[in-house]
Structure formats: structure tokens, C-alpha cells
């Protein structure tokens, strides 16, 4: 009987109409349940998509076999490790540790771009020799923002060759012999004499000023004035941020660098407008020659390319050489045996002159055999450029690995210059290791301080002349001692965070 009573009760209940409030409550609860299920589904889908994205980041697609290595954290990659400070002349821990773990080729990600790093001399040589075929010049977007989107490093083919020919009018050997050798000699004499009259001088700052004043005059007709000092300060800010973490907020080196670029470009634009408005102006410096090219009926240059060219030349002409020479003075200070050998070579040159105070001749410069060895050893250890970047134009097979099309490849000169299999005791400052070796004029597999291939540095000869004339005047006329500083740091570019102060004492 009980089951029938329950059934009857259910029938009666079912016929009783529910209130609208109850219907609303049931509807809201159902909607809440559906929303909860949908949110859980969306969250699950987002998690799955995130996991897939992270997996694809860490395991990029490749038609062949990628080199071993880690892509690091998504977006950031291994940028923080790449820019970590290193207070030695040795190979950066970033490269050293990965070469030890993965071998001479490894993959990574720097400032958001996938890159293959090469510490292999044969691979480096292959990359340089195949520019324009398999690879092209490339730098991360942050570098391009600093140098300018139409800088010479971003140009290819005919326009690059055209600009290189244009620049060689200034930095080629003919102009070095006829003009620049005597001017660099005079600049070195005057600067050293001025420094010797002071209690001490920050040699890095002094060299930067000396070389900037010299090259800025040749490039844009600038004289050593307060305005030129202001312009140089902008380029000094530029080097501090050029190879730094790309965080463009006030207080960072990168932001300071970008501000320096804006100010320097403002000066250059003003000069260009002034000269373009004066068609009767004679050619007095390199900028005037560039303006002439812009005035041609069908110019190959644009104003943007011309301005970026002048900006890059002003920077490259002084700061890299000043850094190498500063390290050179530090290495000479720590190695008196090398100073003695240099002094012997240069005093012999002075004794053979009719006038001991005469300027250096081209024949004398070419006779500086040991000096050339010292310069090679300085730039080998200086490693001013921590990496030379190219981009693969197609999938490229190298030594069993594939560099995918569009990926960057970073040739790492320090890994070659500090390789104990190539250079015995590589951290030792030993100019004699270059004895009886042919002069390197275009880069080799084992020496790429000035680059290699089609983009071998056009300012190489000027750099060597500057270093040789400075060394000649330093060792023949002065003694010196360290006052303070001299510590180096690489981030990964070379820097002297606490300066390098020396005191000069005139001989005799």
C-alpha cells in the first residue's frame, strides 16, 4: 500500500504549479552551472594552448636537425644570461658554458629572436664566404633601432657596395698615406703633451676625445669646441647602451642610448639642411661628398640613408678604437718586457731620422714589425665585438645541423680568439706569437677582430695607423704609471666601469 501512496503523492505534487521565484532560481542556478563549466573549459583550453606555445617555443620546427641548446623562457629567451656582466678578458660564461655543454654550435634566443651561436672557425668562415647567397647581414631589432633602420649594416647588394666605395675615399690607404697618417701623429703628440701637464688622466676618456675630435673633423668638419664635446657625450651614451638589455625606460643604459641617438641625429639633420641650402659650398669633409651624392640627378642615396651612414661612421670611427687602445695601455702597463721591445723598435726609428722630432712617415709606419704584432695581440684580447650577426636566407645545412630560414646566426670571435687549441695560453699577452706570420689584411678563420668576408671593416687600416702612431709617441716620449681604476667589465661589450687613470712623465 505504501508505494501507491507515494506515487499518488508525487502525482499531486507534480500538478501543483511552481512560483515564478522558484523558476527564476532554477534558471539562475542552471546558468551558473553552465558558466562554470564554460569557464573551466576555457581555462583548460587556455592552459592547453599555453603549454603548446611553450612547447613550440622550446622545440622550434625545423626541416632538419637543430643544433643542441635551450631557447630559454618564452619571449625573454636567454637574454638575461647573455647580458650578464663578466669582469675578465676571458670568454663570457654565456658562451663558455654552452660550448662546454653543447659543442661549438648551439641554439638560443636573444631579445626575442631565435639564434644559432657559432664558436667554430670553419662554420664562421663558411658564413662569411656565403653572404649574399645563403646569409645576409642582420642584427636584432634593438640594434636596428639604435643604428637606424637604413644603417649600412642593414643594407645589401649594390647599395652596400656603393656606400663601401664611398667610405673608402676617406679611409683607404691612399688617403691614409697622403693625409691621415700625419694628422693622427699630430693628434697623438698634442694629446699626450696635454695629458702630461695634468696630475693624471682617464686614458679611456682622453683617447675617446682625441679620436673623436680627429675623426669628427674629417667626417663633418667639427672642431674641438663645447658643441663637439656635447656631440661626443651623446655617442659615449650610445656605446653604453648599444650592447645592453633593451629596456627603454628612464634610468636604463638602453634609454640613455636612444636619447643620445636622438640628440646626435638632430645635430646631423641640422647640418644637412644647412649644407643642402648652400649649393656653392666647397667639399671640405666627408659629409660634403655625401651631400654631393644627394644632389645628383638620380641619387642612389636617400637623406635617411645618408644620416644613418654619418651616425654609424662617427660612432665606429672613435669608440671601438679608443676601447682597444685603453686595454692596450693596461696590457702594456702589466707587461714591461713588451714595452722594452716596443721602445727599442721605436727609438731606432727616431735615431734614423735627420730630424728626431719629424712626423712619422709611411715607410716608418710599415717598418714597425713588432708594433704590428702588439696591435694584433691587443685586438685579439680586446674582442670589442662580442658577436657578428647574419641571417639565414634559406634552410642551411652546416656540419650535420640545420639553420632554419629566417633564423639569426651569431659568429662569436672571442670563442675563436681565446681557443687554446688555436692560441697557446690564449689569455696571455704575447705579441711574439705573431712573429714570422704573414700580415692579416682580410680576416681569417682564426682571426676576425675586424670581421670577415664582404663586410670586412673598412676602417681597419685607420685603426692600425691610430694605434701605431699612439704607441710610437707614447714609448718614445713618456713613461707612465697607473693611478687608479683599470678594471674591466663585459656586458657583453668591453667597458671600464671605474675608469683608468694614469700619470704621464716626459722622458729626458
User: Smallest Cα–Cα separation from 87: which of 502, 494, 499, 501?
Assistant: 494
Q: Cell match 658577436: residue?
A: 387
The Cα 414–Cα 385 span in angstroms is 8
In this structure, what are the phi and psi dihedrals at residue 64, rounded to the nearest 5 degrees?
A: -120, -140
**Helices of type H across 243-302:** 253-276, 286-294
The DSSP secondary structure of 298-354, one letter per residue, reads S-S--HHHHHHHHHHHHHHHHHHHHHHHHHHHHHHHH-HHHHHHHHHHHHHHHHTSS
Residues within the annotated binding site?
Answer: 457
Residues within the annotated binding site for heme?
Answer: 457
**Helices of type H across 59-147:** 79-82, 93-102, 121-129, 141-147
Q: Cell match 654631393: residue?
A: 292
User: Smallest Cα–Cα separation from 439: which of 428, 427, 450?
Assistant: 450
Burial class (CB in 10 A: 0-12, 13-18, 19+), 49: exposed
Question: β-strands 489-490, 494-495: how paired?
Answer: antiparallel
The Cα 399–Cα 104 span in angstroms is 11
The Cα 59–Cα 56 span in angstroms is 5
Kindly give, in sequence order, each residue whose CB lies less than 8 Å from that of residue 223, ignoring residues fewer than 6 positions away.
Answer: 213, 217
In sequence order, the β-bridge partners of residue 117 are 106, 410
Q: For residue 462, what is its C-alpha cell? A: 685607420
The Cα 103–Cα 119 span in angstroms is 8
Amino acid at each position: 500500500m505504501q508505494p501507491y501512496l507515494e506515487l499518488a503523492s508525487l502525482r499531486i505534487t507534480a500538478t501543483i504549479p511552481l512560483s515564478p521565484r522558484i523558476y527564476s532560481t532554477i534558471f539562475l542556478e542552471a546558468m551558473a552551472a553552465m558558466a562554470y563549466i564554460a569557464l573551466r573549459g576555457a581555462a583548460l583550453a587556455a592552459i592547453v594552448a599555453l603549454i603548446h606555445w611553450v612547447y613550440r617555443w622550446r622545440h622550434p620546427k625545423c626541416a632538419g636537425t637543430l643544433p643542441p641548446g635551450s631557447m630559454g623562457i618564452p619571449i625573454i629567451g636567454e637574454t638575461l644570461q647573455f647580458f650578464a656582466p663578466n669582469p675578465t678578458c676571458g670568454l663570457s660564461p654565456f658562451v663558455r658554458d654552452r660550448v662546454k655543454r653543447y659543442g661549438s654550435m648551439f641554439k638560443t634566443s636573444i631579445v626575442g629572436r631565435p639564434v644559432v651561436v657559432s664558436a667554430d672557425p670553419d662554420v664562421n668562415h663558411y658564413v662569411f664566404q656565403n653572404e649574399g647567397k645563403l646569409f645576409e647581414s642582420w642584427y636584432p631589432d634593438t640594434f636596428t633601432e639604435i643604428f637606424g633602420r637604413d644603417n649600412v649594416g642593414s643594407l645589401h647588394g649594390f647599395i652596400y657596395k656603393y656606400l663601401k666605395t664611398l667610405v673608402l675615399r676617406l679611409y683607404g690607404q691612399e688617403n691614409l698615406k697622403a693625409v691621415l697618417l700625419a694628422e693622427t701623429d699630430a693628434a697623438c703628440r698634442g694629446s699626450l703633451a696635454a695629458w702630461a701637464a695634468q696630475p693624471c688622466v682617464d686614458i679611456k676618456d682622453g683617447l675617446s676625445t682625441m679620436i673623436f675630435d680627429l675623426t669628427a673633423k674629417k667626417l663633418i668638419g667639427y672642431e674641438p669646441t663645447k658643441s663637439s664635446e656635447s656631440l661626443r657625450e651623446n655617442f659615449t651614451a650610445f656605446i653604453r647602451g648599444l650592447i645592453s638589455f633593451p629596456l627603454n625606460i628612464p634610468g636604463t643604459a638602453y634609454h640613455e642610448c636612444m636619447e643620445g641617438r636622438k640628440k646626435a641625429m638632430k645635430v646631423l639633420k641640422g647640418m644637412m639642411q644647412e649644407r643642402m641650402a648652400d649649393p656653392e659650398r666647397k667639399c671640405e669633409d666627408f659629409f660634403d661628398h655625401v651631400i654631393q651624392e644627394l644632389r645628383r640627378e638620380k641619387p642612389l642615396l636617400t637623406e635617411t640613408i645618408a644620416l644613418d651612414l654619418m651616425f654609424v661612421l662617427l660612432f665606429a670611427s672613435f669608440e671601438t678604437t679608443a676601447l682597444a687602445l685603453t686595454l692596450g695601455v693596461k696590457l702594456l702597463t702589466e707587461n714591461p718586457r713588451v714595452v722594452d721591445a716596443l721602445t727599442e723598435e721605436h727609438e731606432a726609428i727616431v735615431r734614423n731620422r735627420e730630424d728626431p722630432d719629424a712626423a712619422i712617415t709611411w715607410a716608418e709606419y710599415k717598418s714597425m714589425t713588432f708594433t704590428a704584432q702588439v696591435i694584433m695581440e691587443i685586438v685579439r684580447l680586446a674582442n670589442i665585438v662580442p658577436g657578428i650577426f647574419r641571417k639565414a636566407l634559406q634552410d642551411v645545412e652546416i656540419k650535420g645541423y640545420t639553420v632554419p630560414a629566417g633564423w639569426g646566426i651569431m659568429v662569436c670571435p672571442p670563442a675563436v680568439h681565446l681557443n687554446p687549441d688555436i692560441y697557446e695560453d690564449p689569455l696571455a699577452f704575447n705579441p711574439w706569437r705573431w712573429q714570422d706570420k704573414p700580415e692579416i689584411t682580410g680576416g681569417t678563420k682564426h682571426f676576425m677582430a675586424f670581421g670577415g668576408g664582404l663586410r670586412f671593416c673598412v676602417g681597419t687600416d685607420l685603426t692600425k695607423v691610430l694605434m701605431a702612431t699612439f704607441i710610437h709617441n707614447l714609448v718614445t716620449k713618456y713613461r707612465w704609471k697607473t693611478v687608479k681604476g683599470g678594471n674591466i667589465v663585459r656586458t657583453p661589450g668591453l667597458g671600464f666601469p671605474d675608469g683608468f687613470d694614469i700619470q704621464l712623465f716626459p722622458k729626458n
